[in-house]
Chains A and B, each alone.
Chain A
């Protein structure tokens, strides 16, 4: 059981993320960012994930192959609100892509966060490699990969299941699928078998768990168990996590509150109140604090310069050498 203090901390981080995401959506709607995609509705799972990650650089820490709904994990790990806002506003100081990529497309070398990229499911192929390196080196770290339910139709999902479960060559990969029951506008039951995603891993002999991702406490526990297994046994584990998609797919679908889906923050507030860990005024105070932080950050970012056009040739190759055909 998590202590009251730990529960409070989880709550704070969930709210901090939600406030940030809502700020990003506002930025998009007011022309301060071209496109929004993010993770409102996944905080109850993604905060515990961030808390349990063995954070650091290199094989002895967890390698993280994330998709674009992972803001809560990154904030939990210590990412700054202002940096996410920088990426949203595509300024030069965006530490993840220098104004090149969409928001929530993180890249952090010191924390093994491999850069998030738009093509669905490719991370399930790349994670094989960090898994192989960690398995061989008997490293302390594991590999963690996340993605959505619709994307599991892609071949990389099967690649990941197969490569990670080869006999005597198992890979220490925590395979996470956050199931929001949608791929943009296509309902899951139209394109996927009824048996569910976890069932597919069973065919490879991979242990699985289905998790209610709207409850941070059960998410935390389930993650702890799954991670313990992967860390100790050096074998893959698949978690299918049921989450909400509270603002739709992205700004392309309007980024409006959808309604009718469980909101993990409201649910958690009910629990916290019942257990007398926090009260309404605490909730308000926390929200206000982060709203102010986000607003202040935005004001600062709006003044920051955009990237230099001459920088397009930077990082085509290492050291910029050979990039430009003179």
Chain B
């Protein structure tokens, strides 16, 4: 099956063929490289921008205002921080103009740790991003969702921030993207650029479809009775593995993949927590004023009388960065072992 990087590429190809996307741009996004993670390889409308994040966001907003459907990339979310006031404006332009100017644009940017990226290739961004109003914010945890969410993001009339869990970009999906060939090797032959000179190379695109994945809808990845585990992005597969291991101990986890962080799927969350009475939110952003704290606050207010254990957040340590060395990274962001321990503890709380 396609990797997440291939899935994003396929989605962008679908976008330029069927959804009017004429600009897919950012630093090293166009040929010859096609993105530092290959997400934009071989796309006919991909182009290299100057190394200027504020210019990139500004350009995307102008394109959106002009009725285009731009997809802009910030190479790493670690470098998006100098655009925050512009992101605010992309998100508030509709509101400030009382509905006059719509800003249909997508910004994609890789987030999170897991690739030994050290201090400036490991930042998370969702806690800051969810403070910026007027944006929809998505983060896939698998290739199939990466594809579907991108198509929906492009079609949404609002600005959409598409956070890419960079450590998952090479992971293969389990579900087939509509139109994807059976054999992953075949797909690779069709759409992965050759090493070395690629000036003559052209991808061969499969005939793709749109799975019509709505924004704002979570997915229950695993049903269970004892404890609700709410996560997304890179932490989601770890939560699934933790749930599998805990099943052997008789702990029955329900794992929810939020997929859209804003507007998030309140109903799925509340229904689950009301059923299990126990909840852990898992993400890798730093823990103070963490996005998960908001989810827990709403759960505390709305599901209080159903709760049987303290609603719990497992998140990154509140430190300025992720250190390069393995023990430093492991101590900074949740690991399989810490997820298992936290879930077990909450499950066992009497």
Contacts and interface: CB of A to CB of B under 8 A. Distances in A.
B102 interface: yes
Nearest to A97: B98
B155 to A, nearest CB: 12
B58 interface: yes
Contact of A109 (B85, B86, B101, B158): B101
Interface residues of A, number: 47
Interface stretch (B89-97, B107-115, B232-240, B330-338): B89-97
Given A115-B101, A314-B99, A132 B93 contact: no
Given A318-B94, A318-B158, A115 B100 contact: yes
A96 B63 CA distance: 21
B243 interface: no
B22 interface: yes
B101 A133 contact: no
B194 interface: no
B298 to A, nearest CB: 8
B42 interface: no
Nearest to B135: A317
Contacts of A119: 85, 89
Interface in A75-133: 94, 96-98, 100-101, 105, 107-109, 114-115, 117, 119, 122, 124-133
B65 A317 contact: no
B50 to A, nearest CB: 6
Interface stretch (A66-74, A154-162, A188-196): A154-162
Contacts, number: 140
Given A59-B67, A126-B65, A317 B94 contact: yes
Contacts of B70: 129
B202 to A, nearest CB: 22
Given A129-B64, A325-B263, A162 B158 contact: no
Nearest to A136: B22
Contacts of A108: 100
B54 interface: yes
A97 B97 contact: yes
B95 A316 contact: yes
Interface in A284-326: 314-319, 322, 325-326
Contact of A322 (B54, B101, B263): B263
Contacts of A124: 58
Interface string B61-76: 1111111101000000
A108 to B, nearest CB: 7
A308 B270 CA distance: 31
A107 B101 contact: yes
Interface centre among A94, A129, A131, A136, by most B CB within 10 Å? A129
Contacts of B52: 155, 159, 162-163
B134 A134 contact: no
Nearest to B65: A114
Contact of B95 (A143, A155, A315): A315
B133 A163 contact: no
B157 interface: yes
A272 B334 CA distance: 76
A105 B94 CA distance: 14
A138 interface: no
A114 B98 contact: no
Given A122-B85, A159-B54, A59 B96 contact: no
A126 B96 contact: no
B322 interface: no
A115 B97 contact: yes
B79 to A, nearest CB: 14
Nearest to B52: A159
A166 interface: yes
A63 interface: yes
Given A97-B97, A131-B62, A315-B97, 20 more contacts: A96-B98, A96-B100, A105-B96, A107-B100, A117-B89, A122-B58, A122-B85, A125-B62, A126-B61, A126-B89, A128-B62, A129-B70, A130-B63, A130-B66, A133-B66, A133-B67, A163-B59, A316-B95, A322-B136, A322-B263
7 contacts: A58-B67, A63-B66, A107-B97, A117-B96, A163-B52, A163-B55, A326-B266
Interface of A: 58-59, 63, 65, 94, 96-98, 100-101, 105, 107-109, 114-115, 117, 119, 122, 124-134, 136, 143, 155-156, 159, 162-163, 166, 314-319, 322, 325-326
